[in-house]
Amino acid sequence: MGSDQISRLPDEILGIILSSVPTKTAASTSVLSKRWRNLLCLVDSLSFDELNDEEKEEDQEDAMSNSQPFHDFMEKTFALLSNSPIKKVSLSHLPFHYSDHSRVYSWIYTAMDRVKRVYFQVLKSLSLEFLELAYPDYQRLLDGCPTLEELFVADDDDHSNPLCCGAVVKSESLKRLVVSIDLPDSQEDHDSMLLDTPSLVYLKYTSYVFKEHDAVGLDLLVEARLDLSLWESTSDHDDDHDDDVDDEEEDDNETDDNDDDDDDDDDDDDDEPKMPIFGDVTKLVVGITNITTLHLSADSLETFHFCCESMPVFNNLLNLSIESDKEKGWQVMPILLKSCPRLHTFKIKGLVHRETNKCGDACACIPGKHKEGVEEVCCLLTCQVKVLEISDYIGSSQELKQMRHFLGKLKFLESVDVSIDADNDNSEPLRNNLLTLPRISSKCNIQFI
């Protein structure tokens, strides 16, 4: 008698009732009678749980190895509800095979396509890892998080949709943004990057360089950590220094007037203009000039050199940290240091870097080339740095030479902290070598950590 009374309820009420129970239970009511057969299309809240709480402990392994019935039910349900609005989807599923992940993603995308509006009124932190979302769905998700403060984006897989997660971030409330995009085979997808986040105070961005970078309203940004990689080698654009070879080649060109046509052709090839480096970070660099702390990877140093048309002044920058790599140059260091008039702390992880003919006077590896009759002031002599921190110091001749350069040029140094591996058998001689270096600053104190 009771079931007959329920059957007499309006379809809208029955739809609400069925939406409040697990979807598998709601689907099972279709066998009750003709009245119930088509009511599943009224369900707007879906709940899929491959194992209920009682079954999870004892049947988890069995369910994971035999998920096909669950997969079939999911596919059939979404097909039946293809024209029905969905307000909520809950999914509890343990993928057993790697191929299961693609199915799970397809279910999520199907749900996203059906959602008319996303609204997480109190959501503070959001993580988007390895998801393929079309830009409208991605932006709709961000727009539906009016109080979002933290966003984490990670992606390392090629997608059919153009890259959007992390490439474009627009949020009025966002305070902390961490993006890691590693798509070395997708240069064509790195067309434009935009940050429109006026409340942002912390930025950590890792990716290959985009054709264009832009940043809007980052006036509140305090700290930026950038790891921006170039798409190609720069060796053809900034050759390793070799004065002797250059001089010999010039002499040969002046004295040998009998070169044949083939040699002339070779010379013409050498004089061919080089292809420009892909990417432009000028607007991004300009957009972060209010920061007080900046960290640059070894790749970022080269990107700043090749892809930044002009270096802005960082009037508020107090802390600068960089990483070095033996394959990456320091070409940007002189102009970068000159652009930080209030720099207090300079941290360097590893002093070994690629020696080029454009290292400039921040580096001791190659004497600066000065125009005759023009005396240039080393950028280090005007640098206001008081604290110099060196980590991963191994005491090579190049490193010792660089330390001599720093100590002899940084006039305002008060503290030099050097990290040497305690297990290094030569740690004591390394310390002694550093302690005996001349210092231009009488206040400079060297300590080992």
Tens of pLDDT, residues 258-270: 444 444 544 444 5
Q: Are 401 and 429 in contact (CB under 8 A)?
A: no
CA dist., res. 209 & res. 196, Å (int): 18
CA dist., res. 85 & res. 296, Å (int): 47
Closest CA to 282 of 209, 344, 361: 209
CA dist., res. 161 & res. 41, Å (int): 30
Q: How many helices (H) and strands (E) does the chain have?
A: 15, 16
Helix residue spans in 293-447 (DSSP H):
298-307, 333-338, 397-409, 427-435
- Radius of gyration over every alpha carbon of the chain, rounded to an integer in angstroms: 31
Pairing of β 319-323 and β 45-49: unpaired
- Bin 373: left if φ > 0, else alpha if -120 < ψ < 50, else beta: left
pLDDT of residue 287: 97
pLDDT of residue 370: 46
pLDDT of residue 247: 42
pLDDT of residue 108: 66
What token pair was written down for 252? 């040969």
pLDDT of residue 209: 96
Enumerate residue ranges in the chain where pLDDT < 50: 1-2, 53-58, 60, 63, 98, 240-263, 265-269, 368-374
CA dist., res. 340 & res. 28, Å (int): 69
CA dist., res. 152 & res. 243, Å (int): 48
Domain positions in the chain: 2-114, 124-234+276-312, 323-369+378-449
CA dist., res. 434 & res. 403, Å (int): 8
